[in-house]
Amino acid sequence: MSITVVGSLAFDAVKTPFGERERMLGGAATHFALAASFFDEVRVVGPVGDDFGAEEMAILATRGTDTDDVEQVAGGKTFFWKGEYGWDLNSRETLDTQLNVFETFQPSLSRASQESETLFLANIQPGLQLGVLEQCEAARFTAVDSMNLWIEIAKEELLAVIGRVDCVILNDAELRQLTEAPNLVTAARQVLRLGPSVVVAKQGEYGAALVTADSFFALPAFPLETVVDPTGAGDSFAGGFVGYVAAHLDEGLTDDVLRRAMVYGTAVASHNVEEFGTERVARLERDEVEERARAIKEITHFEFENAKENV
């Protein structure tokens, strides 16, 4: 089975209290692909410029990710984002955004990418996401990410996308903004009524919550003393989550599969933030992911005194 991800491939300039990088590989599709590649075959769709070289392409292809649908635009420049994080890494300021090749991007998927069983629409303009959905009608599991900008300026299109996917992955502030519901559970249930069967609320340093029609699950982020760069953490989480679901599609979207997917998403994301950009996850080993997943069990597990009370 395979996963197609459509989204940004970028160069990032990032400054955190722990250092800076003037130009490093980034982008939602990049972080997603690196994370999902632990679990399933990944095909990346997105535009880059002439400045996107063999070195970047090699990182993108880590663990066998297929880059045939990475569109190199002649004479174009790769999407660029520059940001700086505050002292506790919970706030960040965007200093520069250059869309470059994204200004004219129209996703055109190869047949192989269209035929993936799983599709992840990373955060891009909802109109483009709709176009991708139309090319991937055979996908058995579809998930979407978005951002506050699209909720503000393209809400109708975003709602059309949400109405056609199985899973919505947004941060909790975005879920509240989208639904105008101040309560997170209410907001998630409103999104479920639009069509999806799974809503994931990303909560940054506090972890993530999973809401389905008949279940709620919450998982903290893995506690780390060394957090160097949160850039891409949400996309790494989505990659681990969607990747695990994709690899277990034949079991269906059971509560067990979805909860384990939350754990693996959290496990990969917790490694992502330990170094700048893709540096840590590019050389991460599957064993380390498993080890982190077991550590997540350890920090969340409890038993009641009376064994009969344990579910």
Instruction: State which residue, 131 or 220, has the beta carbon closest to its own copies.
Output: 220
Residues 169-208 that bind its own copies (CB under 8 A): 176, 182-186, 189, 203, 205-207
| Interface mask toward its own copies for 216-235; x: CB under 8 A | xxxxx--xxx-x--------
Please report how close the Cβ of residue 3 comes to its own copies at its closest, in angstroms: 19
Q: Token pair 């579809």 is at which residue?
A: 142
- Based on CB atoms, which residue is closest to its own copies, 87 or 111? 87
Please count the residues of this chain forming the interface with its own copies, following the rule CB under 8 A: 45
Nearer to its own copies, 164 or 176 (CB): 176
* Residue 250 Cβ vs its own copies, minimum distance, rounded to whole Å: 13
Least separation in angstroms between residue 200's CB and its own copies is 14
Which amino acid, 38?
A: F
> Of 50, 34, 52, nearest to 42 (Cα)?
34
Site string for its own copies, 72-111 (x = CB under 8 A): ---------------xxx----------------------
Q: Are 47 and 31 in contact (CB under 8 A)?
A: no
106, 96, 40: which is closest to 71 by C-alpha?
106
Q: Are 108 and 83 in contact (CB under 8 A)?
A: no
Q: What are phi and psi of 157, to 5 degrees?
A: -65, -40
Q: Which window, 37-45, 52-60, 63-71, 209-217, contacts its own copies (CB under 8 A)?
A: 209-217
10 Å CB burial of residue 155 (0-12, 13-18, 19+) is middle
Q: How far is the CB of 139 from its own copies (least distance, A)?
A: 24
**Which residue number, 149 or 299, has a Cβ lying nearer to its own copies?**
299
CB 175 within 8 A of CB 148: no
Distance of CA 133 to the CA centre of its chain: 17
How far apart are CB 46 and its own copies at their closest, in Å? 32
Question: How large is the greatest C-alpha to C-alpha distance in the chain, in angstroms?
Answer: 68
Instruction: Name the residue nearer to its own copies (CB basis): 103 or 291.
Output: 291
The angle formed by the CA atoms of residues 161, 78 and 124, to the nearest 5 degrees, is 10
Q: Which of 186, 176, 178, 189 is nearest to 150 (CA)?
A: 178
167 near its own copies, rule: CB under 8 A: no
Least Cβ distance, residue 95 to its own copies (angstroms) = 20
Helices (H) and strands (E) in the chain, counts: 12, 13
CB of 147 to its own copies, least distance (A): 19
Question: Smallest gap, in angstroms, from Cβ of residue 170 to its own copies?
Answer: 15
Tokens of 8: 């940004």
User: Which residues from 245-274 bind its own copies, rule CB under 8 A?
Assistant: 256, 259-260, 262-263
Measured at the CA of 42, the angle between CA 121 and CA 31, to 5 degrees, comes to 65
Task: Give whichever of 150 and 264 is closer to its own copies, judged by the CB atom.
Answer: 264
**Alpha helix stretches (DSSP H) within 210-285:** 233-247, 255-272, 279-282
Residues that bind its own copies (CB under 8 A): 17, 87-89, 176, 182-186, 189, 203, 205-207, 209, 216-220, 223-225, 227, 256, 259-260, 262-263, 290, 293-294, 297-305, 309-311
